[in-house]
Amino acid sequence: MGPLARFARLGLIGGRLVDATFAPHSLDRGEFDVLASLRRNGAPYELTPSRLASVLLVSRGGMTKRIDRLEARGLVRRIARPSDRRSLLITLTDDGRRLIDELVAEHVVNESRLLAVLDPEELAAFDGVLRKLLAVAERVPTQSAGTTSSG
């Protein structure tokens, strides 16, 4: 239990340190993720709300709330999809693109600072172990606590 407890604690503390990077810009991690996903998608920096929800593992209702907040700040906008006007695309505005570019740079500096305690070999080993654990965890079906599968 110790390694997983330390891993969970690292996730909580690391999350707080990441949140501190976004807070001065009045963004939370979820909003950052939306902007980063649009930016990462490449020009013209747009995706459907359902694709964003799928990529970020968020409910459609949760995604709508994020988009509403970002749109109110002028960082994204909803546009009718040219091929189907009943469908929407979420696109980065120029302000949104400038902000996400600035935040990604700050985020990389912050993450580098957090990982600087590891030498290159340790970092590679850490990354390898995390990839291995994640690959297994993503294949395991979720079960309620205290239940077992019968088979």
Q: Are 25 and 32 in contact (CB under 8 A)?
A: no
User: Which residue positions in the chain have pLDDT lower than 70?
Assistant: 142-151
Chain centroid to CA 23: 15
Q: Are 104 and 39 in contact (CB under 8 A)?
A: yes
Tell me what pLDDT residue 142 has: 67
Q: Which domains, from first to last, does the chain contain?
A: 23-136 (1.10.10.10)
pTM for this prediction: 0.79
Tell me what pLDDT residue 83 has: 79
Q: CA 6, 12, 18 angle in degrees (round to 5)?
A: 130
Chain centroid to CA 85: 28
Instruction: Give the pair of three-digit tokens for residue 57.
Output: 């593992």
